[in-house]
């Protein structure tokens, strides 16, 4: 037998008698609360990439967050500027988070979980062991905490409220043109950013209040207020809403000297008090009386008058005769 044929026969026999190799075992999965991760971090560009060492088991998930702050020098506070969040699951095995880093003193942190701190009063890292790469962290990689920049952040945010006659109101948010960074606003918990020289409006809650916090660490609370000018229609409540301390008792419209006041004019709490007109100088006519005949006193008075008249006539006659008689 040729050597080549002999070798082929031996190889064939070996394949036949060799035991079958074991099947490839699937890689084990991890529970979210015990899984370990690897990450990269570039705080200056505001980016991190995270992946688990072993895939998470079905139904398991782990969230991560990345945040950038405007930060002052020394121990000045920091205010949220940009955020990003993502979640690793059994099917999503790697996530990349990006934030906008302010072009001034800034702080950037990548952390376990989705909860973030909107502002801090110092330059310290507010996340401690939640920071990726921190001592005892379940993610291997560089400490995901960056602080840097070359100038102070000087946003110039401003908030002004304007009310309309229909009970609605708006908030106008703006950032002055001389600011060196976008101004950040937390409007009812929602983050807005305005570049220098830009503005926008936000509708208030009709019948409620609107709270706004800006990156100059100033809070504003807006509600509807009656406009000083411009409203031509005023809605008055029904007459039953008149406070009892304002109108003690209803007055008939025919009371002399009382100015005419519509029933709804005093219905609002800020209505003026009732105004009385100046009294008139024209005397009211005397009431008419029915003639019932002359009384006894009237008859005696007339008789006495006649007696006086008669006596006067007699005296006058005597005086005339005395004048005519010769001396």
Measured CA to CA, the distance from residue 73 to residue 105 in angstroms comes to 7
Tokens 């979980």 map to which residue?
113
Q: Residues 277-304: what's their mean pLDDT?
A: 51
The 3-state DSSP class for residue 111 equals strand
The stretch 2-7 carries a mean pLDDT of: 52
Asked whether the beta carbons of 74 and 123 are under 8 A apart, the reply is yes
pLDDT at residue 287 above 50? no
| Share above pLDDT 90 across residues of the chain, in percent, rounded to a whole number | 54
Q: Taking the CA atoms of 10, 15, 19 and 21 in sequence, report the sign of the dihedral they define.
A: positive
Average pLDDT over residues 4-15: 50
pLDDT number for residue 269: 32
| Average pLDDT of the residues of the chain | 76
Q: What is the rounded CA–CA span in Å between residue 325 and residue 327?
A: 7
Residues 246-262 have pLDDT tens digits of 333 333 333 333 333 33
Nearest to 127 by CA among 108, 150, 140, 99: 108
| pLDDT the model gives residue 26 | 59
- What does the alpha-carbon distance between residue 225 and residue 207 come to, in Å, rounded to a whole number? 10
Tell me which DSSP letter residue 45 carries: T
The answer on pLDDT for 276 being more than 90 is no
Which of 161 and 253 is assigned the larger pLDDT? 161
- In 237-267, which positions are buried (b, 16+ CB within 10 angstroms) versus exposed (e)? eeeeebeeeebeeeeeeeeeeeeeeeeeebb
Res 228: pLDDT: 81
Q: Which of 45-59, 64-78, 113-127, 241-255: highest mean pLDDT? A: 45-59
Indicate whether 86 pLDDT > 50.
yes
Instruction: Find the DSSP H helices in the chain.
Output: 3-17, 296-324
Q: How far is the C-alpha of 107 from the C-alpha of 116, rounded, in Å?
A: 13
Question: Residue 65 phi/psi, 5° resolution?
Answer: -140, 150
Q: Decide: pTM greater than 0.75.
A: no
Contact 270, 301 (CB under 8 A): no
Q: Residue 186 and residue 83: Cα distance in Å, rounded?
A: 13
Is it the case that residue 233 has pLDDT exceeding 80?
A: no
Over residues 315-319, the mean pLDDT reads 62
Domain boundaries in the chain?
37-148, 157-222
Give the confidence band of 213 by pLDDT, cuts at 50, 70, 90. Answer: very high
């Amino acid at each position: 037998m040729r050597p080549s044929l002999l070798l082929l026969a031996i190889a064939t026999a070996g394949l036949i008698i060799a035991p079958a190799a074991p099947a490839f075992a699937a890689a084990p999965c991890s529970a979210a609360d015990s899984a370990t991760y690897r990450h990269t971090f570039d705080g200056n560009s505001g980016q991190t990439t995270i992946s688990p060492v072993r895939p998470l088991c079905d139904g398991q998930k782990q969230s991560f967050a990345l945040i950038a702050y405007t930060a002052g020098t020394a121990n000045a506070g920091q205010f949220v500027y940009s955020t990003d969040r993502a979640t690793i699951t059994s099917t999503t095995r790697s996530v990349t988070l990006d934030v906008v880093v302010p072009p001034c003193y800034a702080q950037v942190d990548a952390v376990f979980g989705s909860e973030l701190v909107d502002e801090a009063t110092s330059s310290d890292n507010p996340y401690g062991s939640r920071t990726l790469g921190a001592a005892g962290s379940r993610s291997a990689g560089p400490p995901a905490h960056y602080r840097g920049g070359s100038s102070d952040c000087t946003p110039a945010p401003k908030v002004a409220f304007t009310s309309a006659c229909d009970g609605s109101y708006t908030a106008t948010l703006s950032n002055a043109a001389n600011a060196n960074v976008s101004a950040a606003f937390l409007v009812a918990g929602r983050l807005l950013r305005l570049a220098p020289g830009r503005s926008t409006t936000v509708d208030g809650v009709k019948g409620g209040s609107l709270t706004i916090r800006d990156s100059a660490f100033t809070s504003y609370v807006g509600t509807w207020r009656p406009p000083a000018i411009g409203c031509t229609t005023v809605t008055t409540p029904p007459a039953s809403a008149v406070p009892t301390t304002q109108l003690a008792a209803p007055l008939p419209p025919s009371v002399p000297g009382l100015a005419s006041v519509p029933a709804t004019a005093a219905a609002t709490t800020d209505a003026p008090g009732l105004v009385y007109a100046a009294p008139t100088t024209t005397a009211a006519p005397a009431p008419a009386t029915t003639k019932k005949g002359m009384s006894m006193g009237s008859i005696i008075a007339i008789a006495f008058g006649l007696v006086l008249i008669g006596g006067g006539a007699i005296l006058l006659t005597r005086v005339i005769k005395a004048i005519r008689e010769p001396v």
